[in-house]
């Protein structure tokens, strides 16, 4: 019986220590995530500031591919909402 209770107490202690460690890890993860996004924001600001100081413009946006035959339907074809089909 003593072995059973000592096993239960040891398991409880290990569980509490693991729970505390998980809480500390979650708190640290939150702090690191906030620092990451703050650094990304500051990096973007510094990049824009450097571009303004050097006179370079922002990079051009990526070009979109031309509309293929799927996107361009026949004349007279248009979008019909499902609510109008239910009537």
pTM (two decimals): 0.52
Where do the domains of the chain lie?
30-55
Task: Check whether 61 has a pLDDT greater than 90.
Answer: no
Task: Check whether 40 has a pLDDT greater than 70.
Answer: yes
Question: Are 58 and 51 contacting, i.e. CB atoms less than 8 angstroms apart?
Answer: yes
Beta-strand ranges (E) seen in the chain are: none
> Residue 9: its pLDDT value, please?
97
Q: How confident is the model at residue 58 (pLDDT cuts 50, 70, 90)?
A: low
> Residue 24: its pLDDT value, please?
97
Residues in the chain: 87
């Amino acid at each position: 019986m003593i072995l059973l209770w000592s096993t239960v107490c040891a398991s409880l202690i290990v569980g509490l220590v693991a729970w505390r460690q998980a809480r500390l890890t979650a708190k640290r993860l939150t702090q690191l995530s906030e620092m990451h996004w703050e650094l990304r924001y500051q990096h973007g600001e510094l990049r824009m500031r450097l571009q303004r100081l050097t006179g370079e413009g922002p990079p051009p946006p990526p070009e979109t591919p031309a509309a293929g035959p799927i996107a361009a339907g026949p004349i007279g074809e248009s979008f019909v909402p499902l609510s109008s089909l239910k009537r």
